[in-house]
Structure 1
Amino acid sequence: MSERIFITLGSQKFQFDRLLKAVDELYEKGILKEQAFAQTGYSTYQPVHYEYKNFLNRDEFEKEMEKADIVITHGGTGAIIGAVKKGKKVIAVARSAQYGEHVDNHQLQIINQFKEQNLICGLTDVKGLENAVGYIRTHDFDDYQSNTDRIIGSIKQYIESL
């Protein structure tokens, strides 16, 4: 069975045309052959080689995420965590303030944190996307480990000690 790619760019009022174009270029080069679907958000670029919709409702989003083996996303915390929790292979690309993709470059820090934990393939620029696709196909990532239970346990222990 062939892999499926889900590209999600979030719902904030910023475009990320560079990433959508870079994915199209990988189809043109024959690097990508998998079926893909993109949730493009406020981007104005219209993909040529894969299906897309600007915004998905919650159910549509979950269905696309479930069908995907690979998720290509921006460096938003929610998008990354949502994908790694579901065991998806994730390529996260930082938006850049320089190109009007966000107000600052905080996504670089977010991506680096997830990358250091061996949870994702993180990119500082779309220029690395071709190499990232090859890397993600062969690399074994660690499973996401939530620390929510540990935090709740610590809070309970503290409250009980009062």
Structure 2
Amino acid sequence: MIFVTVGSQKFQFDRLVRAVDALVASGVAVDGAFAQTGVCTYIPEYLEHEAFLDRDSFRVHMDACDVVVTHGGTGAIIGAVKDNKKVIAVPRLAKYGEHVDDHQIEIVRQFGDMGLIEPCMDPADLPAAYARVLSKDYLPYKSNAARFCADLSDYIDGVGGVR
């Protein structure tokens, strides 16, 4: 099953929801899909959907899916890879009114370069990205939070700071 999440920001991501709807309509996603659509104006015809999910509902859908299709938000990507899900991430673009700038392009590329996700820079390429994500293995997510905190602590000590 595919779980689509576009987050809860004030920006629509109709291009992504429309692309997943078309993927499901084509019969490729045989196990179906569920989309958390946020403020999208496009109403899916072929996949189950809800605008917003509470934490428990989100968890149920995340647990049930094999593949997560998400916007290029860091939190959404990290949350899915921490759950050992195969992830296709598509960046929101400012020119379509999906965000204020195009920072998600770099986020998606970086996670893709790290071997953690399948980047899909354009929703029109979703069928190919979906085929790739089903046939590839991805690296597990490893947090560097402990190392970052240790490095920061060392830096503070080095400049004479007090902890």
Equivalent residue of 1:79, what SS?
helix
1:54 to 2:51 alignment: yes
Matched, 1:148 2:128: no
Q: With structure 2 as the length reference, what TM-score do the two structures score? A: 0.91
Q: Write the distance in 2 (CA, Å) between the matches of 1:114 and 1:15.
A: 23
2: CA distance between counterparts of 1:83 and 1:47?
Answer: 23
Normalised TM-score (structure 1): 0.91
Matched, 1:137 2:144: no
1:129-149 CA distance string (max 9 Å, x none): 010010000111000010012
2:111 partner SS? helix
How big is each residue's C-alpha offset from its partner over 1:65-104, in whole Å with a ceiling of 9 and x where there is no partner? 1111100000011100000011000000111111111111
What is the CA–CA distance in structure 1 between the aligned matches of 2:37 and 2:60, rounded to whole Å?
16
CA-based RMSD of the aligned residues comes to 1.5
Partner of 1:113: 110
Q: Indicate conservation of the 8 Å contact 2:70/2:77, yes or no.
A: yes
1:11 to 8, 11, 36: 8
From 76, 79, 82, the counterpart of 1:82? 79
| 1:160 CA displacement | 7.0
Rounded to whole Å, the distance in 2 between the matches of 1:54 and 1:119 is 27
Deviation at 1:159, TM superposition (A): 6.4
Tell me if structure 1 keeps the 8 A contact 2:118–2:129.
yes
- The aligned length equals 159
State the Cα distance separating 1:156 from its structure 2 match: 4.8
How far does residue 155 in structure 1 lie from its aligned partner after superposition? Answer: 4.2
Structure 2: gaps spanning 5 or more residues: none
Contact 2:24 2:32 in 1 (8 A): no
> 1:24 is matched by which residue type in structure 2?
D
**1:37 and 2:37 equivalent?**
no
d(CA) in 2 for partners of 1:17, 1:36 = 16
Change (3 A) 1:155 1:95: closer
The Cα of 1:157 is off from its aligned counterpart by 5.0
> Per the alignment, in what secondary structure is the counterpart of residue 91 of structure 1?
strand
Q: Which amino acid aligns with 1:84?
A: V
Q: Aligned residues: percent identity?
A: 50
Q: Deviations over 1:33-87 (max 9, x none)?
A: 1221111000011111111110011111122111111000000111000000110
